[in-house]
Amino acid sequence: MPNAILRRALPHPDDTDRLGSDLAAAVRLVRPEGLALRLEGDLGAGKTSLVRAMLRTWGWTGPVKSPTFALLESYPVDGYDFHHFDFYRFEYPEEFDEAGFREMFGPGRICATEWSARAEPYLPAADLIVRLSHEGLGRRAEVEALTDAGRAVAAALEGADGQ
């Protein structure tokens, strides 16, 4: 089955939040066993904003920090352990396994990773890739589903408001 690709213009910062909220609602609807989500985009493209909106939709009320310096921020939400990784500071990909991050992926977990290429080939395969880019004064999002779980979430996202 081919990869499903959805595109959405995000002309206002609120639109990035709406996409995060819609994505969280799609995950809630599908209830995948686990999900590996790649977040791609330049600095300031909205990756952490998207994660913050997802977490807020699932009821998280505490702070949501970028994991740039800590490498990992974790949140128990909506029946999952949500792990937000940032591999920007990796000097070599083996750091992924050395840090014991592999065991944080799998059933009961949603893992969102930034700067994923810096952890390959050790990083588990993605179910969904969200590419965020600057477009004029706003942003553009492209969501690519790579697995059955990813395609189910993408199909639910496609039906969400904001399309």
Res 13: pLDDT: 82
Res 161: pLDDT: 52
- Closest listed residue to residue 77, CA positions, set 61, 88, 91: 61
Q: Which residues of 13-33 are buried (b: 16+ CB within 10 A; e: fewer)?
A: eebbbbbbbbbbbbbbebebe
Between 53 and 3, where is the model more confident?
53
Res 136: pLDDT: 85
- Is the pLDDT assigned to residue 88 strictly greater than 90? yes
Residue partners of 44: CB distance under 8 A and separation at least 6: 134
- Is the pLDDT assigned to residue 42 strictly greater than 50? yes
Task: Give the domains, in start order, of the chain with CATH numbers.
Answer: 4-158 (3.40.50.300)
Confidence of residue 1 (pLDDT cuts 50, 70, 90): low
- Closest listed residue to residue 65, CA positions, set 86, 42, 89: 86
Between 162 and 17, where is the model more confident?
17
CA distance 158 to 25: 11
Query: pTM of the prediction?
Result: 0.91
Res 135: pLDDT: 87
Tell me the mean pLDDT in the region 86-115. 95
Res 163: pLDDT: 43
Tell me the mean pLDDT in the region 36-47. 92
3-state secondary structure of 97: helix
Q: Which two tokens stand for residue 102?
A: 């592999």
CA distance 130 to 36: 11
CB atoms within 10 A of CB 111: 25
**39, 113 contact by CB (below 8 A):** yes
Phi, psi of 160 (to 5 degrees): -75, 155
For the stretch 107-156, pLDDT in tens is: 999 999 999 999 999 999 999 999 999 888 889 999 999 999 999 999 99
